[in-house]
């Protein structure tokens, strides 16, 4: 086994307290980075019993001072020592610093996908030693190298990608121990992306991957050819393979049997954020999930399909591959499988495709094990409809932002959703501006904690059946119905909101609302001055407001702008269009409400028309008298 000398870019991992920190007294525009042991993108140079590795022009490192990260880049290469210049704007000072190479390691993950490079590893994760020399950073590897020597008796076959998995994890979140990366995920393998394909034959074809130090068992190697055929090589049971940090381990593989994956079965997708980025990187290399695309108009999920594409979007442990390719303004996601299982985290899958008008064959997705649907269709401005009839949401813990900014959908049929395990519905239908119907009547919200902005800016929906919704554990209802402009009556009579501590703008600008039922709302524990501001403000057609036994506050607490601001004009101010407002409540509630800025609604303060506000007993209907506060 040969040892490896890493000459690496100024890159370091800021991971845990086990990670060494580099002292840097001032804001350095230039750093000298040297490598003690592994590679960037140059060929491994055989030098006796070591492989020397050099920097390459364009290499970047990330340096973290504990609060922010600066990027440095070198314009030179060919040596184990290179000068790096800061390319991020602004001052970057601190008492201690940590550098990362490659820069993606600053996110705390060892990458699942690695790029192929002939005769070497494309990049090896590195971290610096402790040093007091602020101008010089020395890097050491935190992983070893696995070299696969692949031979085959098959002529003219090219390898598109290689997936390696074992009983021990090889990628994902990690910590450092004694300078070595220790993966926290016991499942994740690694995949080597070979681009347009690498030809193999009777002579050894080397493939290099960076993997953490470990004693690996149960190694399985899956080679996928450019024509879609697959060879699976499982190393002997009960045989272990040791990979040590900073060293190279070779494994010889013979792949003589390639076959098409069997038609049928189920493929497993990668995480939703990765899926999103793979699709967008068909358009622009390096594009991230939070960035928007304005060119793709259609996505097709094509099952029982042997065609391939430049991006593999299946999980590392999927027995059947899934590919993505771009055809004009369409993205085709293809797999020989008959169905596609989404990952435990399906967040952001289709988010940010602003011109996407159609997702074909969405029913091919098996979502039964998915726990996170957040942001799934976020910012799909042009998407007109989605077929959710096959969605199994029984495992979901969050639907936050799932349909946010789906501005063109007229109906979102979520009537079959099982929401019994979900904690968050925040922003779920935010800015669904054309949705006429939202069938949420069967939602089970017994475990829910967040209703923040869930229906905000649903401009044309005329009614909401929330009769089965439970609000007992919900802490946030901020802007829950904000700017729901078409709803005339809203019945929340069964909801206590007993745990709610943030309810600002809850019914703000419901411009058509005439009747509001809050008979079970518990206002008795309200204490925070800022957490109910604007709650009943700018509801100009409001005529009837129903409170119950606890619809008042026993302290002197009076929310700011609760019903009005002093400059709200006629036609905007609450009840100004209806001209009268009847509040059904207790005497105690009447006494409390008359001291809030509801008094401005009654008096017309400052320049609006006075509104006939009266209180009646919520049980008997008898009129209540109270003394109004001064303006």
Token pair for 620 = 């008997």
Token pair 């022009």 is at which residue? 57
Distance CA 53, CA 548 (A): 75
Total tally of structural domains belonging to the chain: 2
Contact call for residues 180 and 142 (beta carbons, < 8 A): yes
549 within a domain of the structure (yes/no) = yes
Distance CA 557, CA 526 (A): 7
Contact call for residues 594 and 626 (beta carbons, < 8 A): yes
463 within a domain of the structure (yes/no) = no
The H or E element containing residue 30 is: strand 30-35
CA-wise closest residue to 543 among 619, 612, 604: 612
Contact call for residues 440 and 468 (beta carbons, < 8 A): no
524 within a domain of the structure (yes/no) = yes
List phi, psi (to 5°) of 190. -135, 155
Distance CA 134, CA 423 (A): 47
Beta strands 220-225; 612-617: pairing state: unpaired
The count of residues in the chain is 631
Distance CA 68, CA 197 (A): 39
List residues bridging with 74 in a β-sheet: 84
Peptide bond just before 606 cis, omega within 30 deg = yes
- Pick from 124, 141, 158: which residue ends a domain? 141
How far is residue 439 from each of residues 394, 410, 476, 531, 599, measured CA to CA in Å?
17, 12, 22, 29, 38
- Pick from 141, 175, 191: which residue ends a domain? 141
Q: Mean pLDDT per 10-residue run, the chain (631 residues)? A: 40 34 57 70 49 81 83 88 87 77 81 85 81 71 92 90 90 82 75 92 94 92 88 85 88 91 80 96 91 97 88 87 94 94 97 98 96 98 96 98 98 96 98 97 97 98 97 95 98 94 94 98 76 93 95 76 92 96 96 93 94 97 94 86
Contact call for residues 221 and 233 (beta carbons, < 8 A): yes
Q: Tell me, what's the pLDDT at 351?
A: 98
Distance CA 345, CA 374 (A): 9
- Sign of the C-alpha dihedral, residues 159, 161, 164, 170? positive
Q: Three-state SS string across 76-143, please?
A: CCCCCEEEEEECCCCCCCCCEEEEEECHHHHHCEECCEEEEECCEECCCCEEECCECCCCEEEEEECC
Distance CA 176, CA 181 (A): 5
Distance CA 81, CA 142 (A): 19
128 within a domain of the structure (yes/no) = yes
Token pair for 501 = 């501590």
Q: Tell me, what's the pLDDT at 43?
A: 45
Distance CA 144, CA 247 (A): 5
Domain that holds residue 119: 3-141
70 within a domain of the structure (yes/no) = yes
248 within a domain of the structure (yes/no) = no
List phi, psi (to 5°) of 598. -60, -25
Token pair for 378 = 């976020």
Largest CA distance in the chain: 99
74 within a domain of the structure (yes/no) = yes
- Sign of the C-alpha dihedral, residues 145, 256, 196, 203? positive
Residue 215 has a CB neighbour count (10 Å cut-off) of: 12
Contact call for residues 618 and 584 (beta carbons, < 8 A): yes
Q: Tell me, what's the pLDDT at 246?
A: 82
Q: How far is CA 60 from the centre of its chain?
A: 25
Peptide bond just before 170 cis, omega within 30 deg = no
DSSP classification of residue 601: H
How far is residue 252 from each of residues 148, 151, 203, 210, measured CA to CA in Å?
6, 8, 11, 17
543 within a domain of the structure (yes/no) = yes
Residue 21 has a CB neighbour count (10 Å cut-off) of: 20
Q: Determine the 3-state secondary structure of 364 from DSSP.
A: helix
CA-wise closest residue to 626 among 565, 558, 596, 523: 596
pLDDT digits (tens, 9 = 90+) for 121-149: 888 888 887 655 656 788 888 898 999 99
Q: How far is CA 202 from the centre of its chain?
A: 45
CA-wise closest residue to 92 among 138, 134, 48, 33: 134
- Pick from 114, 141, 168: which residue ends a domain? 141
């Amino acid at each position: 086994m040969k040892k490896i000398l890493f000459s690496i870019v100024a890159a370091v991992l800021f991971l845990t307290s086990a990670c060494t920190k580099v002292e840097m007294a001032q804001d350095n525009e230039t750093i000298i980075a040297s490598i003690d042991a592994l590679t960037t993108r140059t060929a491994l140079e055989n030098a006796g019993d070591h492989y020397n590795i050099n920097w390459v022009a364009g290499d970047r490192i990330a340096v973290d001072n504990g609060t922010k990260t600066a990027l440095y880049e070198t314009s030179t290469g060919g040596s184990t020592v290179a000068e790096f210049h800061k390319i991020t704007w602004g001052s970057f000072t601190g008492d201690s610093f940590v550098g990362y190479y490659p820069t993606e390691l600053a996110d705390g993950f060892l990458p699942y996908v690695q790029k192929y490079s002939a005769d070497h590893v494309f990049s090896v994760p590195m971290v610096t030693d402790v040093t007091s020399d602020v101008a010089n950073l020395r890097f050491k590897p935190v992983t070893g190298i696995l070299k696969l020597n692949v031979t085959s008796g098959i002529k003219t076959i090219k390898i598109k990608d290689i997936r390696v998995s074992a009983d021990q994890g090889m990628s994902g979140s990690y910590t450092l121990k004694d300078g070595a990366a220790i993966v926290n995920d016991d499942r994740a393998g690694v995949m080597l992306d070979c681009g347009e394909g690498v030809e193999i034959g009777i002579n050894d074809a080397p493939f290099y991957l960076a993997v953490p130090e470990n004693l690996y068992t149960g190694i399985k190697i899956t080679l996928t050819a450019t024509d879609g055929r697959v060879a699976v090589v499982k190393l002997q049971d009960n045989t272990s393979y040791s990979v040590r940090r900073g060293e190279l381990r070779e494994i010889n593989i013979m792949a003589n049997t390639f076959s098409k994956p069997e038609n049928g079965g189920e493929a497993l997708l990668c995480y939703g954020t990765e899926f999103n980025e793979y699709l967008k990187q068909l358009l622009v290399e390096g594009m991230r999930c939070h960035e928007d695309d304005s060119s793709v108009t259609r996505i097709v999920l094509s099952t029982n399909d042997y065609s391939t594409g430049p991006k593999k979007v299946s999980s590392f442990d999927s027995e059947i591959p899934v590919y993505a390719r771009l055809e004009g303004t369409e993205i085709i996601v293809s797999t020989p499988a008959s169905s596609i299982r989404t990952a435990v985290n399906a967040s952001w899958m289709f988010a940010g495709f602003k011109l996407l008008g159609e997702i074909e064959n969405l029913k091919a997705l098996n979502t039964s094990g998915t726990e996170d649907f957040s942001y799934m269709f976020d910012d799909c401005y042009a998407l007109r409809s989605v077929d959710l009839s096959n969605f199994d949401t029984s495992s979901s813990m969050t639907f936050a932002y799932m349909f946010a900014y789906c501005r063109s959908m007229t109906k979102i049929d979520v009537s079959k959703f099982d929401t019994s395990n979900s904690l968050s519905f925040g922003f779920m239908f935010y800015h669904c501006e054309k949705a006429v119907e939202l069938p949420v009547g069967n939602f089970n919200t017994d475990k829910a904690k967040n209703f923040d902005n869930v229906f905000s800016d649903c401009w044309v929906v005329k009614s909401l059946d929330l009769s089965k919704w439970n609000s007992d554990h919900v802490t946030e209802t901020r802007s829950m119905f904000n700017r729901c402009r078409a709803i005339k009556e809203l019945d929340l009579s069964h909801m206590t909101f007993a745990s709610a501590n943030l309810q600002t703008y809850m019914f703000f600008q419901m411009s058509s609302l005439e009747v509001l039922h809050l008979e079970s709302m518990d206002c008795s524990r309200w204490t925070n001055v800022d957490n109910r501001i604007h709650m009943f403000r700018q509801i100009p057609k409001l005529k009837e407001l129903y409170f119950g036994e606890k619809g008042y506050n026993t302290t002197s607490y009076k929310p700011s702008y609760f019903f009005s601001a002093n400059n709200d004009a006629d036609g905007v101010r609450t009840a100004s269009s209806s001209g009268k407002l009847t509040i059904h409540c207790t005497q105690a509630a009447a006494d409390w409400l008359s001291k809030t800025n509801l008094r401005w609604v009654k008096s017309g303060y400052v320049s609006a028309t006075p509104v006939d506000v009266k209180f009646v007993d919520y049980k008997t209907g008898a009129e209540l008298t109270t003394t109004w506060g001064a303006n």
